[in-house]
């Protein structure tokens, strides 16, 4: 045990020293700066995995409580067909479809609400109420309504992503200042021209904020919904089933796939935000 503890401590100290040195650098090259920005979290993540491995082996923790990263990796590489089928069912079918439908519908309804003060005062409070509903309460109802396959999971995602997009878009559409709106009126711009050329660009940071929030909510919602009824495939189904069989390494393999998929999805939305809102101070301030 002492050998593993010393190894964990040594790795932690070396990684800490290396990251401290990296973050204190002020490179003039943008490529080097981006490389450092990627290297720091990568080193930190690898360090956590090494410490995890050392602690499990050093304290001889039973695999049923906490498997080592090496055991999880072995299960992951040895179960690629099963994991791929679960990924297709959960992420490609349920998450993506529900995410696009929920965010798109929320955006369109926000445009309609912007044209109607009655809807703005009547629907937004209901939206805040519905967004507070727990997914564990909504998921069984959607399974009863739409069946056990992926359409019921899409319905859960639509409910979870609709109102964050609605509220953020409505708030973003009001972000343009009165002076800017008055300027558009002096140019005799119509409501549609003002929306496209002024108010919608000002709302993009709010819209992308909702898109980033929903990218994680969608995956969580589908996995939780699959606990309440699904065909014999899916990340949530696999986690629930393998916990009952005490195959904890398979559970962690599914968690790893979900974490990587969610992180990549969030990263793609964040990169899209940088491309669309390149003019915003939060984006310009991060560039050298």
Round the average pLDDT of the chain to a whole number and report it: 85
Residues 83 and 8 in one domain: no
Give the number of other Cβ atoms within 10 Å of residue 154's Cβ. Answer: 26
Cα–Cα nearest to 176, from 145, 152, 205:
205
Q: How far apart are CA 27 and CA 114, in angstroms?
A: 46
Backbone angles phi, psi at 176, to 5 degrees: -65, 140
Residues 96 and 142 in one domain: yes
* CATH assignment at residue 255: 1.10.3720.10
pLDDT at 282: 63
pLDDT in tens, 175-214: 777 777 777 777 777 778 777 778 888 888 999 999 999 9
Q: How far apart are CA 281 and CA 180, in angstroms?
A: 18
Residue 66 lies inside a defined structural domain of this protein: no
First to last CA, the chain: 47
Domain housing 195: 75-286
pLDDT at 285: 55
Residue 101 lies inside a defined structural domain of this protein: yes
Cα R_g (the chain), whole angstroms: 23
Residues 32 and 93 in one domain: no
pLDDT at 288: 46
pLDDT at 197: 79
Do 102 and 167 meet the contact criterion of CB atoms below 8 Å apart?
no
Residue 192 lies inside a defined structural domain of this protein: yes
Residues 96 and 189 in one domain: yes
Residue with token string 């969610």? 262
Residue 70 lies inside a defined structural domain of this protein: no
Residue 67 lies inside a defined structural domain of this protein: no
């Amino acid at each position: 045990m002492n050998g593993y503890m010393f190894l964990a401590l040594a790795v932690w100290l070396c990684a800490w020293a290396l990251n401290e040195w990296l973050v204190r650098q002020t490179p003039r090259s943008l490529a080097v700066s981006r490389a450092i920005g990627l290297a720091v979290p990568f080193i930190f993540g690898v360090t956590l995995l090494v410490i995890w491995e050392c602690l499990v082996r050093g304290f001889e923790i039973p695999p049923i409580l906490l498997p080592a990263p090496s055991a999880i990796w072995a299960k992951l590489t040895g179960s690629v067909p099963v994991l791929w089928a679960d990924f297709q069912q959960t992420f490609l079918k349920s998450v993506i479809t529900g995410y696009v439908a929920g965010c798109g519908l929320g955006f369109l309804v926000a445009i309609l609400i912007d044209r109607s003060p009655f809807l703005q005062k009547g629907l937004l409070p209901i939206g805040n109420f519905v967004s507070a509903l727990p997914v564990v309460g909504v998921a069984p109802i959607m399974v009863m309504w739409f069946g056990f396959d992926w359409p019921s999971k899409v319905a859960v995602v639509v409910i979870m992503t609709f109102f964050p997009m609605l509220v953020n878009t409505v708030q973003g559409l009001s972000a343009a200042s009165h002076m800017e709106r008055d300027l558009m009126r002096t140019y005799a711009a119509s409501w549609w021209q003002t929306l496209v050329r002024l108010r919608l660009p000002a709302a993009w940071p709010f819209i992308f904020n909702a898109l980033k929030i929903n990218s994680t909510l969608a995956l969580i919602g589908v996995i939780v919904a699959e606990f309440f009824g699904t065909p014999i495939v899916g990340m949530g189904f696999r986690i629930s089933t393998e916990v009952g069989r005490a195959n904890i390494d398979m559970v962690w393999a599914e968690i790893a796939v979900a974490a990587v998929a969610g992180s990549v999805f969030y990263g793609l939305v964040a990169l899209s935000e940088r491309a669309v809102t390149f003019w915003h101070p939060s984006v310009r301030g991060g560039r050298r």
